[in-house]
Amino acid sequence: MDKGQPMDKGSPVDSAAAKEGQRRSVAKAITWRIVATSTTMAIVFGFTGKLLLAGGIGPVESLSKILFYYTHERLWSRSSFGKVSDAPRSRHVVAHAGTISEKEREAEDGSRAVTVWFTGLSGSGKTTLAYALERRLFDQDLRSIVLDGENMRLGLCRDLGFDPIERAENVRRTAEVARIANSHGILAICGLISPFRDDRRR
């Protein structure tokens, strides 16, 4: 793919890799549940010699664990223990203000810089819309930058995977770049899957 062409669902970075990760997770969960239930049934049959009893305990054990796991995850989701904090780790970091204020930049440009955030499933057209908007703004002499999810993962976010924590970090980094762009009078157009509601609200 040419570097000058916007990437949408054709790139393997965000779409194919995400789908592959999800498929692997589902496949691993299903196969593990089958193995675990079969093991329980084999143990029960080995101790009792009753095939009917083993066949009945297996499904009960499987359904019980699914219910308990769901309850366990719901309880942990309400706990803040071990969650990644947005607070900076360094205690002695001080923000430095520039000599040009945002109001001065707005007065110079005649407009206020904002962030437009496109979200949706892979292949839904986020990137296409983002670059179309960039073109329209450029034709109106307005400065803008497109922060595409796949492009971000090729550079600033190349060290991130697709688990919930790393997806949240991908969104956080992109939002931070957008914030910096806005503070310099540049409109930011973001196109990310952004699957988690809490991340979109930040």
Q: Is residue 6 part of a domain?
A: no
Instruction: Check 11, 15, 144, 194 and give the catalytic one.
Output: 194
Give me the pLDDT at residue 46, please.
92
H or E stretch covering 177: helix 164-183
Q: Is residue 117 part of a domain?
A: yes
Beta-bridged to residue 144, according to DSSP, are 187
Integer Cα distance of 65 and 38 in angstroms: 14
CATH number at residue 130: 3.40.50.300
168 with 84: CB under 8 angstroms? yes
Domain enclosing residue 36, as ranges: 25-77
Q: What is the pLDDT along the chain (202 residues), one digit of tens a residue?
A: 344 444 444 444 444 444 455 677 778 778 888 888 899 999 999 999 999 998 999 888 888 888 888 788 778 777 777 666 666 667 777 777 888 888 888 888 788 899 999 998 888 899 999 999 999 999 999 999 999 988 999 999 999 988 888 888 999 999 999 999 999 999 999 999 887 777 666 6
Q: Please say if 144 is a catalytic residue.
A: no
- Tell whether 119 and 191 lie within a shared domain: yes
Q: Is residue 70 part of a domain?
A: yes
- Tell whether 142 and 194 lie within a shared domain: yes
* pTM exceeds 0.75 for this model: no
190 with 117: CB under 8 angstroms? yes
83 with 166: CB under 8 angstroms? no
The tally of domains found in the chain comes to 2
